Amino acid sequence: MIALTPQERKVVLFVAGVWLAGLCIRMLVLVRPACRVFLEGEALKIPLNTVGYDDLIESRLVSPSLARGIIEYRRQSGAFKAIEELKNVRGIGDKRFEKLKGIFCLP
């Protein structure tokens, strides 16, 4: 076995963790093609017009009632044309919109 210093062990564990996280993200994209996650800049974004209810719930970024509201609004009004339309969803005011606008995208 190779003798590593404590610092080298930390580096090896860090690199392995980053590799594993990348692998998990890649598997998410391959397994759920309808809900592709996009990398914009430094953040992962969820496509607002194609995401399903189950995907929203699994993301744990919105509550079940808010996920229902987003899907219902999209069903009634058609595809979102701008992220700002989230304000039209029941339960999303200016304060909540500020928290949510960074997690969605319109591909």
Instruction: Dump pLDDT digits (tens) for 7-19.
Output: 999 999 999 999 9
> What is the domain extent for residue 63?
36-105
CATH number at residue 86: 1.10.150.280
Instruction: Dump pLDDT digits (tens) for 69-96.
Output: 999 999 999 999 999 999 999 989 999 8
Tokens of 94: 């200016």
Instruction: Dump pLDDT digits (tens) for 36-58.
Output: 555 545 567 888 898 889 888 88
Residues 73 and 88 grouped into a single domain = yes
DSSP state of 78: -
Q: How many domains does the chain have?
A: 2
Q: Answer whether 0.75 is exceeded by the pTM.
A: no
Burial class (CB in 10 A: 0-12, 13-18, 19+), 56: buried
Residues 43 and 86 grouped into a single domain = yes
The sheet carrying 43-47 orders its strands as 38-40, 43-47, 104-105
pLDDT of residue 33: 45
